[in-house]
Chains A and B, each alone.
Chain A
């Protein structure tokens, strides 16, 4: 409905009076002004809010179209100042009815919405916000530009926290812990700091950085830059020093204290990459198991993928990413899947939710406001919203980490054009979350949850939906391919512990070719705390080997949890959810188009030290992004897809794939060792036509010793366990063809086949068969630079080698000494063209002339002059390796593990037609938002009655205290005023006293006279003492 449409029928006008009058007086004035107008054509709109008890200076009048001229008569009335059309209501309505088409059947919602926008006590500049907030919530980025640019605003108002404030919810009774850099004692923004504790080795509770103050302010500031929940109980935990140091052990003790104090919501705007820090991860689980809702920042390491920070990447934690005010994912926001599950599985979707994290205003260190960006900022926005939401729930028992997260993700608004590994479930929508949370009832024996979104994350699997389901949507599935794994998180709001009853059921839809798909499901044996995983592996049935089309079905999962409120012992609550599945199937592509990415020999982030591949990047010494085609090799993957290649991931030893299916095995930057069986199998495979491309990296034991460092966080020296890649292991793998990499360490720019290249800390080729093609370049010896700070240029460094194995139908091998040019992290110049050329060679046997006829071609090195690199003595690779195990003397290879075996679910076909759009389908399952009346206004009890309304109106509180809180505010200030009054009385007495004392002493004779006179003048003075 546009305003003009409404104009045709009725319009509302604000009638402003010259002064403050009671409701009755106002209505009398209007009635007398409109006495000539038919009473059916106008009415005064009732305002049932706390303010209506008091005299007011305006009234809202609804006037029909045909009686418009009555406006003139209204304006003529002596007590009426002016009449203005009321428009805001219409707009506000439009935005609150979001989700439906704007025509709300529910009058209550409409009415209450009017109330909130109308009687808002927000000063002018803020009120316009509620008007624009329709745009804020419109996630179409382009429509929102104009408005957004104009107004930097308080985030609490953008998210419409004021609606909840006006309903009387301000976070009271909710304990919020802020784990940060502390807070000074007398910060003017906070009224309910319950406790401050220090867990660091610095002797202070105060914030020296401003980070903790800002975060606390976003959650609970009560003035200037308002936070979400000013009445919440703040517990400040100082766990981060002014030097930005913090230890796991401090956190452990502080978390224990938070558990003891029964904290409800905990904000942690701190994170790190170390999800292998078991004591910390276990403690976070323990914390959420004790019902602490943990909100944490996802990290500021974007836009690189694979940069999620712990603890935000945990299933039981609400991980928050950042967006700017134009609804773009903030560049800094960490993204990509979790890397815990690599190499065998696939990462979970994180962040869970995104919200404003760029240029948000919050409390300054001492006073005032400042603006800050980062997921550190986005996290307290959600923590504040969660606090506020928790305070709206009458039955607090229902609020737990899972139900809160469900409400947040089920209500989030999806941003267009952004995939789920960047935005999670979308942008935080406070009011929708409120609606969902207050319709949440997990009490019944069998809960058919009001919405299925939220229980599962992601709530459906649509491998065709782009870009939301990237990377799944970027490559169709086919028979014979590695199964596509979707790692779904199950959130169980019924209890801290739960289980999946029976095996999940796969129900293909026969009309939608569901029988062309095979599904295997594995899942957490116990859902604890509050969550677990459901890994769905999808592959194509043999009968669809040459079929192309869309197939659909769903997986049924039943979750059970002990019923704690059930009097019968052993009772369980259950809930069943459906996970729709939709995939695109294509005929199996030819072998030459299929590339297998070796993930098994890439180590995900381990607790050990695996240095960066580019040694220039000193501030980020660890290689922690997972080295997966969907994390830091994402650009390379996209490039290969755009070139028409199909890229699959090998998450198991080399012995576990059928080499006849693939053209090329791609090994990039491998840190892992190799099983002897793998080495012999690869040799056979290459004899039989598989090709191999290896992008290696540096490995120099002297440099490795040199780049050791003292880690503040673990308080120990860290010695690298490999170099950039594990060159000695790679040499074991390729030695059979007479190839080897050297321990040289080179760096430099060069040009190859008319492409600018940058060699960032790579090795050279030490040995190569003499009938191979080897390209050499002039590079700087970076090893010398690192070790002795000397610069030396080395000519003819062999960097690239191409080799056709001699056997009949044998494969080809290509080696390159540096992986940095295809890795997204710290890449300076990409070399995807080189990868293309190498793939042309390996897959199609097309020798690129630009390389073979290059002037840089040299005679293949025999490498007999220098020894090959040896493994660093005393390295601890075996601690993190899947291949090695500790052994007396040198670590030895473990026995080869069995290849992973998936047990495909027995399909239970349904003759059902699937909905065409799974996301919408989900929405249908969800709550009908409009049935949940939004502001379920509680009776408001004004505590103070104005003594004389009409007197002086210019009392402007700087920055404005939150609307909806004035009553209480006044109630609290009364003792202060009383005290001030008492002080005035007292000082008056004192003044009088000194006067009285001084006068008699100096002028004794005069004393009596004035008194005498006064006594004469005031005949009743004798009675005064009794007054």
Chain B
């Protein structure tokens, strides 16, 4: 079916209907400019005198300096965000981790819990309780009284800090006595983990992130080093098993 001949006209109509929207920006500018011209004509002579006063110049300079500084700082912030894995090559380099460990009050009362979300049947909440999905409360915490839930469990975890079940790895990692281990890890974390572990903010996030399988978990890229115990809170990668 051919286009209607009227369409073109029609479109020009609807186009012009909308011009006020974006014209407003232009006119704003123009008006500003006109106003400036106006000021220039009428007040320039007076201002010229005013401008000779040093403090006025100082203020103008100061304001522009502040503007300049803020805008450059903003840009810097941006480049900081663009982190590259390989930026820091030196071995002394420590990643700037900002993890806040909350010590000794793991039994604190909180109204809302984050939890490990992903589990097929198990979940770990941020207090370190592992429970079955059906025992999860509306606020995201495990029901402490449920028979299935228990705190800081290291079930399925080996001595090298690698577990076969992710949720237990997180729970185990949340044990307060794991803090030195985690700090040590953070201080020596591989460059490849810089992005991840500088973005981590607290103990729970750290454990969630640390227990996930990562580049350290594989051999020949497409095979787990140890398909059984692959979730590690500890520093060492999973034990290397022959294929």
Contact = CB atoms under 8 A, between A and B. Distances in A.
Interface string B150-193: 00000000000000000000000000000000000000000011
Interface stretch (A407-415, A534-542, A708-716, A859-867): A708-716
A970 B45 CA distance: 34
A278 B227 contact: yes
Interface string B117-137: 111110000000000011111
Interface string A948-976: 11011101010000010011011001100
Contacts of A984: 32-33, 36
B9 interface: yes
Interface in B212-243: 212-215, 217-218, 220-224, 227, 243
A952 B23 contact: yes
A20 B193 contact: no
Contacts of A567: 138
A517 to B, nearest CB: 34
B26 A124 contact: no
B209 A256 contact: yes
A948 B24 CA distance: 7
B16 A58 contact: yes
B50 interface: yes
Interface in B45-90: 45-52, 57, 60, 64, 67, 78, 81-87
B118 A529 contact: yes
B103 interface: no
A986 interface: yes
Nearest to A571: B134
B21 A283 contact: no
B96 interface: no
Contact of B26 (A123, A497, A570, A952): A952
A79 to B, nearest CB: 14
A58 B84 contact: no
Nearest to B40: A988
Contacts of A980: 29
Contacts of A85: 6
A761 B37 CA distance: 84
B222 A252 contact: no
Interface in A681-714: 713-714
Interface in B192-219: 192-193, 195-196, 199-200, 205, 208-209, 212-215, 217-218
B105 interface: no
B84 A204 contact: yes
A82 interface: yes
Interface string B1-40: 0011011111111111111111111111111110010001
Contact of B7 (A55, A88, A198): A88
Contacts of B81: 195-196
Contact of B47 (A195, A256, A992): A992
A939 interface: no
Contacts of A564: 136, 138
A562 B134 contact: yes
Given A196-B82, A260-B205, A607-B223, A953 B23 contact: yes
A153 interface: no
B43 interface: yes
Given A87-B4, A970-B25, A247 B221 contact: yes
A127 B13 CA distance: 11
Contacts of B102: none
A507 to B, nearest CB: 30
Contacts of B44: 988, 992
A253 B196 contact: yes
B118 A992 contact: no
Contacts of B134: 562, 569-570
Interface stretch (A113-121, A325-333, A367-375, A612-620): A113-121
B46 A257 contact: no
Contacts of A646: none
A963 B9 CA distance: 19
A131 B205 contact: no
A618 B60 CA distance: 70
A290 interface: yes
Contact of B11 (A119, A128, A1018, A1021): A128
5 contacts: A54-B20, A128-B11, A283-B213, A714-B222, A992-B51
4 interchain residue pairs of minimum CB distance: A249-B215, A946-B24, A1024-B46, A289-B118
